[in-house]
Chains A and B, each alone.
Chain A
Amino acid sequence: DTEVTQTPKHLVMGMTNKKSLKCEQHMGHRAMYWYKQKAKKPPELMFVYSYEKLSINESVPSRFSPECPNSSLLNLHLHALQPEDSALYLCASSPLAGRSTDTQYFGPGTRLTVL
């Protein structure tokens, strides 16, 4: 298994809803990432988990709450989002945490629309 999977593919939610994005990899990778990508912009890093512990939080608002229940799974819990949070949310993983030359492998993303 050489892929990163993300569910759901599309999500539409209201500003008062609570929802979660899920990411899974079975490559034995020890680092997992959440990125946000707006149209015609590069991916922007949100969070990094290394060995299941949060190692980087890029000053992301608390309405985004990451969780890493185990080494294969990464969640992003969403609550009280704003319309400007609408974007493609990408998950990625890499073999070893803390090694800059490791390639990150991306999932297909979840297209989120906040109404």
Chain B
Amino acid sequence: DQQVKQNSPSLSVQEGRISILNCDYTNSMFDYFLWYKKYPAEGPTFLISISSIKDKNEDGRFTVFLNKSAKHLSLHIVPSQPGDSAVYFCAAPLGNEKLTFGTGTRLTIIP
């Protein structure tokens, strides 16, 4: 049962434009969410997180929005840069130590 879902396996965005990556979840007990970025043959790198007591968290070019009623979160990257091309995973802790990941979205930034 996939409790964290990323329905877009891939996304292409022009350099300089906004990239919006989406994530839906089914478990209303989730109270914390993370976004990871992964380059090929490397481990995931932590990008940004958000607690359920907030609806927005911003860090430089990256902003995560949380809509608890819709059980939906999104990651906005603006402006998009070629180095942002990677696979992005949203994740949520299930229990105290188990992190459940979405299936990932491959973002390609077109120069």
Which A residues fall within an 8 A CB radius of B? Answer: 4, 6, 31, 33, 40-43, 45, 48, 50, 55-56, 88, 90-92, 94, 97-101, 103-109, 111
Contact = CB atoms under 8 A, between A and B. Distances in A.
* Secondary structure call for the A interface: strand
Interface of B: 31-32, 34, 36, 41-46, 49, 51, 89, 93, 95-99, 101-104
B87 to A, nearest CB: 9
B32 to A, nearest CB: 5
B49 A103 contact: yes
A90 B97 contact: no
Given A97-B97, A111-B41, 8 more contacts: A42-B102, A55-B97, A103-B34, A104-B99, A105-B46, A107-B43, A108-B41, A109-B43
Contact of B43 (A45, A48, A90, A94): A90
A97 B49 CA distance: 18
